[in-house]
Amino acid sequence: MRMYLSGSESLAHGVRLSRVGVISAYPITPNTQVLETLSTMIDRGELDSDAINAESEVGAMNICAGATAVGVRAFTCTCAQGLAYMKEMLWMASGMALPVVVGDTSRAIGSPQTFSSDFSDTLSERDASFIQYYCENGQEAVDSLIMAYRIGEDSRILLPSIVIIEGFRLSHTYELVDIPDQDMVDRFLPTYDPKHAFIDPKYPVMQGGPALSTVTFDGLKFQQFSAMQKAKEIIRETCREFADLFGRDYYGLAEPYKTDDAEIVVVAMGSVVSVIRDMVDEYREKGHKIGLLKLRCFRPFPKEEIRDAIVGSEKVLVLDRATSPGSDGITYLEVKAALQRCPVVVSNYIIGSQDIFQKDIANMFDTVLSRDDEFIEWYNLEFKEEVLELSGYDNYERLLKSEDIDRQIEEGEGIQALGNPFCPGCGGLICAKLAFSMLDKNTFVTANCGCLGVIPAAFPQTCLKVPSAFFSFSSAGAAASGVEVGLRRKKIDMDIFLLGGDGGILDIGLQTLSGALERGHNITYLLYDNEAYMNTGVQRSGSTPYLARTKTTPSGKKIRKKDIMKIVEAHENVYTATVSPAYPQDFMRKVQKAREHKGPSFIHAIAPCPTGWEYDASLTIEIARLAVQTGLVVLYEQEHGKRTINRIPKKRKPIEEYLSKQRRFSHLTLEQIKEIQENVDKRFIELTGQPMV
């Protein structure tokens, strides 16, 4: 069946056709469309699979590893910082011979964070014993994912795989894709029935565990090395069988194009190959014998194919998106090693995450044709001096000269400048502004990744007039702890304010939040709770309410919201408070009290989101007020174990009035609304000790 699909949807169809039993992933842009498509397939009954919402990428990979360890086919998807966060689990999965498949919507990794793709995330894991497939288009994505299970599960291999498409460049590009018939895929891909990874009380086996001798450890690493070497021929065999059955030939590890008589061979991988192929044809018509070698696999690396492709060639040009700082382009280094005994000039253009067009390839071809020397250069890239002005480099230069610098903020001014990039009616932004109004120039602001993460950190610009930093999604609590200790050592008295969403505090960041609270760091946390991963497109989080609809829970979340206040209040000497932007005086008073508290403070703010909660942007404050009037949110504060209720409605409104204004609850039945009302009543009595009113 031929369908117009994005690269992300192509990966999802590959998962469906592979009859994957367990799916677990954590939202990160731009992998979310893979998750959403799979969730919709499961909801419609098109895919018989358990989708497990993980609290982080570490959890997602461990869930998949656990499922694979008992003999169930598993899939996860991620990219960039998410793949880096999985690192330990990647090495664990390959060391335990668990053929999990990871779909990577590749995005550059680093700080400042970016949405562009340069393969730095996956190439950073080239030594993790994962087979790596780099796809040129959506068709190759769906086909490669099916083949990845077939190859990885082969008893001669038993290695996990990563199927890579470029973030946005392919993940969000729609094209015509031929989706194979399920019956044909079932003939090609047998049921996963491992003989090494299973659980049977009658036949106990040990998986993983410590290797207490170098002989054992090195022997297992040698098995991984041998499996990767064997994988070369298995990949070639599998591609031939796939071509016979489906009519699409991927030529194994690398695909040559007009290399037989080429004097210049260009080596590249990913979507740029399509542009190079067209330009090879154009330059052939001009009489230039240029050929192309497309790398499909980076691990195992196709040394033999590279040597075969350059026979008779004079020059090789390698295009690299990722580089190894301190050395050269990563692919170039491998190609150069493969050709070390070949009399050929090997040059390297590092293109980074740039979009490359025909004119760019023409410039590269013309350069190679006109030069006989071996060169390594970044293509069309240089440091822009204007960035220095945007990032405050002029202040830095003046500091070096011991010149005085005028603070940008005056007494009585807010710490946030005018202008913001947020959705109309954003409840989180209203919460942030209320909090910021109580802070002064002696404030350090940090943020978790999330919607409001771009307030202090849209690098190199910021709308904050105070020092700020943007740390990693998973560990902002730990980073803020380091800031607090460092400032204390330097005898600088500043408020440390951490702005985090429900994902960065309830889920992936919960561990470092708890650690910071337990250690007693003097940090104020503001949780702007919009009850889903809104930054990545409305996926379910630990804070998503019972039965609320998100992109990954299309029929409604089946479990209740995590009670973060109980978790926080289990720590000692923490000032805690709940707030609503509909009651600004109460909100600001609690922020001030948090600043004065000697120790950690935690403020939980309900932050209605027009986009995710599906309501008109003008209703944000009304919905935030209804949350309190219905008793869903109880405004209170707690200090030294004593709870003070700040506001009790004289007559609580029914929860249906709150739910009915949000289309994320439009699917609820009367029985479900009644159940939610009972839960709200129970918690209201538990918190307030008040009888029903």
194 with 275, same domain? no
Angle, helices 87-95 vs 214-246, to 10°: value is 90
Distance of alpha carbon 645 from alpha carbon 361, whole angstroms:
67
For 380, phi and psi rounded to 5 degrees? 55, 35
Q: Is the pLDDT of residue 390 over 60?
A: no
Q: In which band, very low, low, confident or very high, does the pLDDT at 203 lie, cut at 50, 70 and 90?
A: confident
Structure tokens at 180: 């194979």
Asked whether residue 396 is domain-assigned, the answer is: no
Region for residue 287 given its phi and psi (left: phi exceeds 0; alpha: psi -120 to 50; beta: otherwise)? left
pLDDT at residue 206 in the model: 83
Domain of 657?
Answer: 422-688
For the whole model, what pTM was predicted? 0.93
- Boundary residue ending a domain (348, 378, 408): 378
Q: In which band, very low, low, confident or very high, does the pLDDT at 198 lie, cut at 50, 70 and 90?
A: confident
233 with 297, same domain? no
Mean pLDDT of the chain: 93
345 with 462, same domain? no
CA 258 to chain centre: 38
Asked whether residue 556 is domain-assigned, the answer is: yes
Asked whether residue 184 is domain-assigned, the answer is: yes
CB atoms within 10 A of CB 338: 20
241: CATH: 3.40.50.970
Exposure string of 604-619, with b = 16+ CB inside 10 Å and e = fewer, is bbbbbbbbbbebeeeb
Asked whether residue 416 is domain-assigned, the answer is: no
* CA distances for 663 relative to 4, 341, 609, 667, angstroms: 29, 66, 12, 8
Asked whether residue 400 is domain-assigned, the answer is: no
277 with 232, same domain? no
262 with 218, same domain? no
- Boundary residue ending a domain (378, 412, 437): 378
Q: In which band, very low, low, confident or very high, does the pLDDT at 313 lie, cut at 50, 70 and 90?
A: very high
**Residue 229, exposed/middle/buried by CB under 10 A (0-12, 13-18, 19+)?**
exposed
Half-sphere exposure of 555 (CA within 13 A, CB side): 9
For 410, phi and psi rounded to 5 degrees? -105, 160
| 319 touches 279 (CB < 8 A) | no
pLDDT at residue 652 in the model: 94
Distance of alpha carbon 627 from alpha carbon 622, whole angstroms:
9
Number of domains the chain is built from: 3
95 with 232, same domain? yes
232 with 280, same domain? no
For 227, the enclosing helix (H) or strand (E) is helix 214-246
242 with 283, same domain? no
The pLDDT tens digits of the residues spanning 426-476 come to: 999 999 999 999 999 899 998 888 888 766 556 666 778 888 888 888 888
SS3 assignment, position 326: coil
Residue whose pair of structure tokens reads 């037989």 in the numeric block? 260
pLDDT at residue 609 in the model: 97
Length of the chain: 693
- As a three-state string, the secondary structure of 548-616 is CCCCCCCCCCCCCCCCHHHHHHCCCCCEEEEECCCCHHHHHHHHHHHHHCCCCEEEEEECCCHHHHCCC
Sign of CA dihedral 29, 31, 36, 42: negative
Q: Are strands 443-447 and 468-470 parallel, antiparallel or unpaired?
A: parallel
For 602, phi and psi rounded to 5 degrees? -140, 120
Distance of alpha carbon 379 from alpha carbon 217, whole angstroms:
43
Asked whether residue 398 is domain-assigned, the answer is: no
pLDDT at residue 205 in the model: 83
Distance of alpha carbon 521 from alpha carbon 50, whole angstroms:
40
Comparing CA positions, the residue from 636, 601, 634, 605 lying closest to residue 621 is 605
For 500, phi and psi rounded to 5 degrees? -140, 145
299 with 226, same domain? no
Comparing CA positions, the residue from 383, 419, 432 lying closest to residue 584 is 432
Residue whose pair of structure tokens reads 């909090």 in the numeric block? 435
DSSP 283: H
590 with 635, same domain? yes
331: CATH: 3.40.50.920
For 43, the enclosing helix (H) or strand (E) is helix 32-43
Average pLDDT score over residue span 272-281:
98
Average pLDDT score over residue span 142-154:
98
Q: Are strands 2-6 and 297-299 parallel, antiparallel or unpaired?
A: unpaired
237 with 265, same domain? no
- As a whole number of Å, the end-to-end CA separation of the chain is 59
Average pLDDT score over residue span 601-628:
98
Asked whether residue 410 is domain-assigned, the answer is: no
Radius of gyration of the chain (CA): 28
Average pLDDT score over residue span 300-306:
98
Distance of alpha carbon 362 from alpha carbon 340, whole angstroms:
28
301 with 428, same domain? no
Asked whether residue 390 is domain-assigned, the answer is: no
The pLDDT tens digits of the residues spanning 215-266 come to: 889 999 999 999 999 999 999 999 999 999 999 999 999 999 999 999 999 9
| Cα–Cα–Cα angle for 36, 39, 41, rounded to 5 degrees | 110
* CA distances for 509 relative to 490, 501, 524, 542, 622, angstroms: 27, 10, 15, 12, 30
Comparing CA positions, the residue from 87, 122, 88 lying closest to residue 103 is 122
For 339, phi and psi rounded to 5 degrees? -105, 20
- Boundary residue ending a domain (360, 378, 396): 378
For residues 677 and 209, which has the higher predicted lDDT (pLDDT)? 677
Structure tokens at 513: 């939040």
Distance of alpha carbon 448 from alpha carbon 56, whole angstroms:
14
Minimum mean pLDDT among 70-74, 351-355, 499-503, 522-526: which range?
499-503
The pLDDT tens digits of the residues spanning 322-368 come to: 999 999 999 999 999 999 989 999 999 999 999 999 999 999 999 99
